[in-house]
Chain A
Amino acid sequence: MTAALIAEGLVAGYGAAEQILKGASVAVQPGEIVTIIGPNGAGKSTLLKAVAGLLKIAEGRVAVAGRDVTAQDAIGRARAGLAFVPQEANVFARLSVAENLSISGFLDPKGSATELEKIYARYPMLAGKRRALARSLSGGQRQILAMAMGLMQQPTMMLLDEPTAGLSPRAAEELFAAVIDLNRAGLPVLMVEQHAVEALRISHRGYVLVAGRNSVEGAGPALAEDPDIRRLFLGG
């Protein structure tokens, strides 16, 4: 089976300073939810950005559904099937919900009309607020919109950068439920999460990233119960 995503030996950083990623690797199989956890500054978000093509990599390679996209920029990787949902500023604040969704289908204007109907059916909240400006949404609603905008790209692989950051526990729970829901529909998901234990519980596999390199790797629920991991992320 071809992996949905392979990123191997990524070395990348911001500018001339020391590289943040020092040879990190992740793979996501079809149908999987994979979570990357790690201490602050480990390079989790950097890894996602390097995969999405927002950051030039110095070494390593990225392949989407068996196709090498290392030489492609962010637009090329979006075309190849990656949908990256950034942690912040992930919606067009001054555009309406409907416009946010339709513009996200920019690369395939014909296909996006049917996609839009599916999304409104999946998220009735968005259908009810289609004329509202994105900046008027609550944090949880905005995050759902950002994810739905990712879906409008008709991706083969979804990348989520800390989707529950800043959300209330209840909104975070709803968001994780939405992620599971998407995944059950067949979409592989790679996410970075601060809420490590909760995220690992819903993940098939997890990676622990430390100082720009892979540390531990294993089944999600097992990592969630691992005493070392719990000590690292819960302080006890």
Chain B
Amino acid sequence: MEALLQAVVNGLLAGSLIAVPAVGFTAIFAILRYPSFAIAGYVSVGAFAGWAANTMLGFGAPLAVLVAFAAGAAAGLLCELGALRRLMPAGALTVAIASIAVNLILENILRFFFGNDLRGFDLPIQPDLIIGGIFVGLQQIWNLVLAVAVVAAVFAFLMFTRFGRAMRAVADNPDLARLKGIDPARIAAIAVALGAGLAGAGGVLLGLDTSIDPMTGYRVLLSVFAAAVLGGLGSIPGAVAGALALGIAEELALLVVPATYRTGVGFVAILLILTFRPRGLLGERAA
């Protein structure tokens, strides 16, 4: 029973970290209608930017997350405006494939400057808390708080700001949005900055949890993609729900299968959801 509860807690903690880039992935899909595998590169860029801010400039975790958001957003805008947007007329599949290339390029730029070594954030070592027999790291709780704060900020942006609402309007009905005077190119740029920024912030959260290297983003890409599909591509609450569900499913799976099969859970989840609930857990998939 305790093992089960521990797995659920671990899953929620891990899922909350995946939720941040998954929301970014789904936000880009909602507006630009292509799955951006470049999100993996943005995750790694953000992770390294946050790491540099932390270890070289002495920034604490919350500030490092902000720096990572800015770095991810900048990388995203650069790649989108410089390359991906030009391929839009060729269709979503072409852009999706190009985004894989963008990921490889970003990954290797990081490798060129930082090498392949694992790097850890400069954090005080903190003891695990034991609550009712469940082990939780204090840093993990902080990461959860940061992840919740980031996702809450995204929701506030989408619900209460002019451009956040405009983004939802474009996701819902781009033609009508244009009639209301909303410039789709501008909203697309905002969506990419937001999505890639979230990926970057997620990179730091993942790095705080373990360590980072140029493959940090690539390693979580499948989980991020699975979480977004699980939640119904383009649905932001769905991506959060999908990430938490996937996190728990991965941890529960570890109770019965060896750890090497962990990533397989993502594939199985995609398969199941596309077969039985193609509009996602919350039934909110963008049409």
Interface residues of A (CB under 8 A from B): 52, 54, 74-75, 78-79, 84, 86, 89-95, 99, 102-104, 106-107, 109, 149, 153
Contacts and interface: CB of A to CB of B under 8 A. Distances in A.
B128 interface: no
A145 to B, nearest CB: 12
Contacts of A99: 165, 168-169
Interface secondary structure of A, over-half rule: loop
B179 A74 contact: yes
Given A103-B165, A106-B166, A89 B180 contact: no
Interface string B256-277: 0000000000000000000000
A99 B183 CA distance: 18
Given A74-B179, A99-B169, 4 more contacts: A86-B179, A92-B168, A95-B168, A103-B166
B180 A94 contact: no
A90 B177 CA distance: 10
Nearest first, the 8 closest Cβ-Cβ pairs linking A and B are A107-B181, A92-B172, A78-B181, A103-B169, A94-B172, A104-B180, A75-B181, A103-B165
6 contacts: A75-B178, A90-B176, A103-B169, A103-B180, A106-B180, A106-B182
B94 interface: no
Contacts of A54: 175, 179
Given A75-B183, A106-B162, A95 B175 contact: no
A66 to B, nearest CB: 21
A95 B182 CA distance: 16
B173 interface: yes
Contact of A102 (B165, B173, B176, B181): B165
B176 A78 contact: no
Interface residues of B, number: 17
B168 A149 contact: no
B179 A52 contact: yes
Interface of B: 162, 165-166, 168-169, 172-173, 175-183, 284
A180 to B, nearest CB: 24
B176 A86 contact: yes
A101 B175 CA distance: 16
Contact of A93 (B166, B172, B175, B179): B172
Contacts of B165: 95, 99, 102-103
A153 B179 CA distance: 10
Given A89-B175, A93-B172, A95-B169, A149 B162 contact: no
Contacts of A93: 172-173
A84 B183 CA distance: 16
Nearest to B178: A74
B162 A109 contact: yes
Contacts of B182: 75, 103, 106
Contacts of B176: 86, 89-92
A106 B172 contact: no
A8 to B, nearest CB: 23
Nearest to A75: B181
Contacts of B177: 92, 103
Contacts of A102: 165
A115 to B, nearest CB: 13
B173 A92 contact: yes
A70 B245 CA distance: 53
Contacts of A75: 178, 181-183
Contacts of B162: 106, 109
B172 A95 contact: yes
Most buried by B among A78, A90, A92, A93: A92
Contacts of A94: 168, 172, 284
Contacts of A79: 181
A91 B169 CA distance: 9
Contact of A84 (B172, B179, B284): B179
A100 B169 CA distance: 8
A91 B173 CA distance: 8
B282 to A, nearest CB: 12
